[in-house]
Amino acid sequence: MPKSVILKTLIWDGAVSLAVLDTTEIVREAIRRHHLSPVAAAALGRTMSATAYLCSWLKGSESSLSVAINGKGVGGTIGTAGDGNLFLRGYVDHPEADLAPSASGKLDVGGFTGCDGTITVIRDDRSGVPFVGTSPLVSGEIAEDFSAYFLTSEQRPTAIALGVLIGKDGDCIAAGGLFLQPLPGASEEVLTRIEREIGRFSNRSTLIGERGAEGVLRMLAPEEKYTEREIFYRCHCSRERIASLLLSLGKAEAQSILRDEGKISVHCHYCNTTYDFDEEEALSLFNVGGNHEN
């Protein structure tokens, strides 16, 4: 059964960390859940690939991370989140928004995302105050924006190639990314080589589709051993979690909503699921039966 994966290894005598991701299956799931237009799928898919890479560095399964890209484009905010288990989820404010292809004939991800804004990453390793990093958007094309984030917020220069190939039927043919990150002390020669090598992956989604993650990794690491981890599209929401959230509203607020709406509905943006609680079910959470008195 096809799966999304991240492969990691060290190359060039241990001077550079290489990661290759095949995220085709989680992008397909995002399209299915959110009914994404082709350009929305490309923007969210690229962001989810980068988020998966960031999550692969989390210290433990309880650690978590979220990304928000606000570029004032037609798609609105792009939001993704994940954890140390590589359980990923994501959304865009306007999944139906579409644009004509760019001058090069490609999906106009930059126009969809916009570049008048920021990319913000919040990382919580459960060790104290969460880390918050923010950097200005460069192009809205996602890969360049994450490269700028790594350089300015984490002081780790990183060459990134991200791609999502969408078929005429609107489904994802292939998606993934490649990350080249020099380790501390890497020479100028290594940095120059990274810039040269990343140019070989201009058709990264096509390469992922044709060769798979391992085939792409072998273009740079013919003999090195690598680690492999699976990436999942999985949301943390559940009816039980939402019920706990309703309790935080307080009895009076819940009763007010029930009087106005006849039910309480809570929508999860990440997985596009709506949880409805009728009057009897909602009030039973507060152990007040059908009584509307405060």
Beta-bridge mates of residue 22: 5, 176
Predicted pLDDT of residue 251: 86
DSSP letters along 183-251, please? PTT--HHHHHHHHHHHGGGTTHHHHHHHHHHHHHHHHH-SS---EEEEEEE-----HHHHHHHHHHH-H
Predicted pLDDT of residue 254: 87
Give the tokens for residue 37: 């237009």
Predicted pLDDT of residue 28: 98
Domain 4-233 annotated CATH 3.55.30.10 = yes
User: Taking the chain (294 residues) in consecutive chunks of 10 residues, what is each chunk's mean pLDDT?
Assistant: 95 96 98 97 98 95 96 98 97 97 90 98 91 96 97 93 95 97 91 90 89 96 96 93 88 89 92 91 72 38
239-284, CATH topology level: CBS domain Like (3.90.1280)
Buried b / exposed e along 33-70 (16+ C-beta atoms within 10 A): bbebbbbbbbbbbbbbbbbbbbbbebeeeebbbbbbbb
**93-142 pLDDT tens trace:** 999 999 999 888 899 999 999 999 999 999 999 888 899 999 999 999 99
Predicted pLDDT of residue 289: 40
Contact between residue 68 and residue 76 where contact means Cβ atoms under 8 Å apart: no
Predicted pLDDT of residue 293: 38
Residue boundaries of the structural domains of the chain? 4-233, 239-284
CA distance 52 to 129: 22
Predicted pLDDT of residue 290: 40
Burial label, 108 (beta-carbon count in 10 A; 0-12, 13-18, 19+): buried
Predicted pLDDT of residue 102: 86
Predicted pLDDT of residue 288: 45
